[in-house]
Amino acid sequence: MNGYVKSDIQNGIGTVVFHHPQSNSLPGELLNSLANEITLVGNNPDAKVIVLRSEGDKAFCAGASFDELIAIDSDEKGKIFFSGFANVINAMRKAPKFVIARLQGKAVGGGVGLASAADYTLATDNADVKLSELAVGIGPFVVGPAVERKIGTSAFTSLSINATEWQSAYWAMNNGLYANIFNDVEALDAEVNALAKRLAASSPEAMMELKKVFWQGTENWDTLLVERAAISGRLVLSDFTRNAINKFKTK
């Protein structure tokens, strides 16, 4: 598999890291590994808080792997692929610990979904966001519930319709996606580490109960996100989507 997912727990802080050479895009195998790793760290009593991050100094996550999208040849395979994003979001939602997302760079599509599914997201000021799905004939169906929950219906609608336009990190912060933004990675990491240390020293029981409160009303997401994955899985087979993806790949 190109790319990897790894984790480590130190001083009560569980760090989950993912990487893919194509701007930290996420093929199906990597999505499955990411969901599993988040679940494992979430259930490990040695971890009191989870930090989710990607490798490199550029993109946080470029979303779905175009190579894998173009290879999908049936509704069922499409549903399975997009269910990978559903599984990651649900793993973050159901982890009994707070998830801090650390964004060192831009987030596209599924990457915006990861940033939205975290309980607390911190980013650099070049971590622009874009929901590009409509531009390739799909739509942000799977990540939509997480994004809309975080930034509200109006901002989600704008981000979904303006599928070719980047929105700045300041836009993301003003709309509630980012809790704060920083001028450089060093300042970002200092704040991520400081927050993680404070949470690791907090009451695990109180944080677990508070997380339940934060996510009330999402109990149907195990079913809802898979239903949404089926929509994307069907649309990705269209000639429009295949032509659009091929155009993107040749740029």
Residue range 79-120, pLDDT digits in tens: 999 999 999 999 999 999 999 999 999 999 999 999 999 999
Question: Residues 155-178: pLDDT tens digits?
Answer: 999 999 999 999 999 999 999 999
Q: What is the structure's pLDDT at 230?
A: 97
Q: What is the CA radius of gyration of the chain?
A: 17
Residue 219 neighbours by CB distance under 10 Å: 11
Question: Residues 192-236: pLDDT tens digits?
Answer: 999 999 999 999 999 999 999 999 999 999 999 999 999 999 999
Q: Is pLDDT above 80 for 38? A: yes
* Residue 2 pLDDT grade (very low, low, confident, very high; cuts 50, 70, 90): confident
Please state, for a pLDDT cut of 70, what percent of the chain lies above it.
Answer: 99
Residue 176 neighbours by CB distance under 10 Å: 14
Q: Among candidates 103, 143, 104, which has minimal Cα distance to 121?
A: 103
Backbone φ, ψ for residue 10 (5° rounding): -140, 130
Q: Is pLDDT above 90 for 154? A: yes
Mean pLDDT across the stretch 34-47? 98
Q: What is the structure's pLDDT at 1?
A: 59
| Global confidence as pTM | 0.96
* Residue 31 pLDDT grade (very low, low, confident, very high; cuts 50, 70, 90): very high
235: tokens are 């649309």
Give the separation between CA 179 and CA 200, rounded to whole angstroms: 19
Q: What is the structure's pLDDT at 9?
A: 98
* Residue 121 pLDDT grade (very low, low, confident, very high; cuts 50, 70, 90): very high
Question: Residues 180-196: pLDDT tens digits?
Answer: 999 999 999 999 999 99
**β pairing state of 4-10 and 13-19:** antiparallel
196: tokens are 């993680």
Mention every residue, 6+ apart, whose C-beta is less than 8 A from residue 27.
1, 2, 3, 20, 65, 67, 68
Q: What is the structure's pLDDT at 250?
A: 73
Ordered by where they begin, the domains of the chain are 4-200 (3.90.226.10)
Q: What is the structure's pLDDT at 91?
A: 98
Helix, strand, or coil (residue 99): strand
